[in-house]
Structure 1
Amino acid sequence: MENGLEKASDKNTDLDDILSQIAELDKWREIFDARGLELHNCFERMHVASEMEDYKQLFQSINTLQPSRLGYIELLQEEVKRNQDRPLERFKAEEEPDDVSRSPSAHSFHSNANSLMVPYSIPRALAVSPTLGGHPVSPELAMSLRKILFGNTMHIFNYEWKKSFFKFREPYSNLSYALEAERGGARAIQMAVQSHVIKYLLFTQPLNSENCGIERLLEVVEKEQEMALAAALADILWTAGEERTATVSLVTPDRCFTPHLDYKLDNFTERNPPPLTSPHYLRLQEDLDFSTTHLLQFGLGNFVCRQALLNLLLTGRASPNVFNGKLSCDEHGNALDRPLHGVLTRSNVGYLYWSREQAEHGSLPAVGSMLKTPRLPVWVCNINGTYSVLFSPNRSLLSDWKMEHLFHLYFYNGQPTQVNTAMLTI
């Protein structure tokens, strides 16, 4: 009994010492900076932080032992609110697709941590009221969406995907038209959107515009960047809807349904109205073939875009292959049990592919003319698995044979190390 009283007395004494030292600091507010580093270091030196699992326990302990110090508690709570939407590296391992095999203790830690801080929560400013219209996503449609993306309902977007977004380079710079690209699986999507951004900036201006060439890309202001990105995304959605309809998902603050046991929660799909309707889902299934049943493939610790998803962004159809039309026979002339689906129509933006490994083994797939010769001279390039964009400001390059004798192409690879657009003379 005496030992228990002594321990309680020691804890109260330690807490009094902590609060006394904090009160004596001239610049105590600096302890609570944007990331809480000073607070963490101060408490770590006093051997208190090691006794707390997280900030929540710290709040509860201080509030229980010293209710008169509410000013510090409120300040700490404000700090947690500011950091609520900040992704943490320590959650990365827990978000990998194979985390379904984690131990109960790991799941318990994950749930306790999420009760205080959600590492990948949707910013409140982007959430809209469900009263704006639309239809809430149903469990059946959410499961269909998950299956068409991952092939099952238990995979979710991992850390690399959740931290990806669209961000332009500095306005009025040499690369003011360019999006910064990640090295992860989302890079293919970012470069596909980049190709539509370039198409918008180069080929949607009036023909009598003063700057119709590459100079047009060197004077993009922030407002034009926003317009170009919005136009690029709208163009992709409109083309995917066969130029008749486009569906936009608006994130709501509340979940639209309660997940089943065979559905893994991702805290995003459950707050979305349906991004694709039943007719869109059926058409996606028709576009795919037996060689490709879903749009993302897991490999080397990350999800990567399959050709079907890239073709969907470029042509509006989720064709799994790069050749023209449908293929009913194999390379030896033998009839296939089921045909392979290729690209059916020519699009505004094209696609080029090359792989050193496949070229050395004689298995390099031939890109069909539908993708190689688009309506406009803009191509997404996949070179050894790295995506980039190749383009020309000359609209007539693919329609006037006289232009083929000597022309310039411009290249952007999305890497932060590239500071100028590379020019190739052909």
Structure 2
Amino acid sequence: MHVLEGQIVRLDLSNGKSVYEDFKQYYKMFLGGRGVNQYILLNENPIGNSCFDPSNLLVIGAGLLCGTDAPGASRISIDSRNPFTEGIGSANAGGDFGYAMKKSGLTNIVVKGRAEELSYIVIDDGCARIVKSPELRFKTVSETNKLIKESEGEDFEVLCIGPAGENIVYSACVIVSGSRSASRCGQGAIFGSKNLKAIAVRGTKTIDVVDRDGFDKAKESCIEALYEDEFNRRRMKYGVYCYMEPWGVESPYHNFSGEVPPEALKEKLMPDEFYKFKVGNKTCKGCPIGCWAIHEVIDKEGDLTVEAIQGNTIHNFGAKLGISEPKKVLKAHYLCNEYGLDEDVTSNVIAWAIDCYQKGLINNKITDGQKLVWGDGDLINNIIEQIAYRKGEFGDLLSEGCLRASKKIGRGSEALCVNVNGNDLFE
């Protein structure tokens, strides 16, 4: 199969039908991935319907070079409407799903409709089917991956939502390959609105290029340049969070207060402090760097294996919320991955709530009896769970982002909500 070949599969969850079309009509306009996704959405998605309406389209696209061994060619784009803004929504992730998807013969997956009961899609070398899966209801991401692989085969790559997506939490994301987060724009909530828990794909086709010798020379040149770069060498050691320091002068400290975080907080969150818990690396298909760090921490609930922390993780839970203990920062990231939550938005709405509480705009009645303070890792991790399951009035309040929450609370709380058109801001 040539790198420019492939098919687009269109699945209707409402009636279980699938149809295929040739990718060739698209690649000359858009190389692949997000470009094709957005073209389909802008030309075909119904205007005026809610993003949670069954007619709303959900499109997954693999990058053009996925399936080859080009360095870094592993990413997928997940596109639909954005629950926060009702405009364009797009999320992106690495992992191994895009590689398997292209080797199955597919370039894009288009989903519409809503399944009668919770289901997942199986794509085996391009052949798609829909599997009813009520047993996956409210399973975490790791549980979902385990059960699907036991049922379909260990060689399947899985992307899925956690409980947050099923509960239509607006900050729900899609987790790829167990821990790679396709965050921003609430795409996990779109999955949940369609009763779609996961997509599992397996591919065995060979992806060919026109000039193999030329391709291999270019690939080796890229790899050599990557190895020679000092920043990449740090990534190989530490993982994605490899910066010389966690932040500069500017940071989202205490809900974008404008204050400079204390030097003592910065010292506690340096990469070397997290390196103490690092036990290994993974790599996305085709990537020579291996920045997919694996950490292990001992928690009161048992040992936690924490994968793929980002620079965002430190900004979100360290600066924005003031958690100074690496263990609790790692647990916050772990919980967001397990529940399928975008940690940028989740940390933002929690920061808004703490800021409101500290300024007297909300009280213990609204927080379900919880005293909100900066830097309390146990409290923050409890709130993450409340958001994922919409637990209590407080969890439900925070589950749709700070703008909607502030409109319900009023009392000037809107001024503390940092957002762009309703989408909580990371930076």
TM-score interval (norm. to shorter): under 0.3
Give the number of the structure whose residues are more often helix, by fraction. 1
Higher relative contact order (CA 8 A, sep 6+): 2
How does the TM-score come out when normalised to structure 1? 0.26
Bigger Rg, structure 1 or 2: 1
Give the number of the structure whose residues are more often strand, by fraction. 2
How does the TM-score come out when normalised to structure 2? 0.26
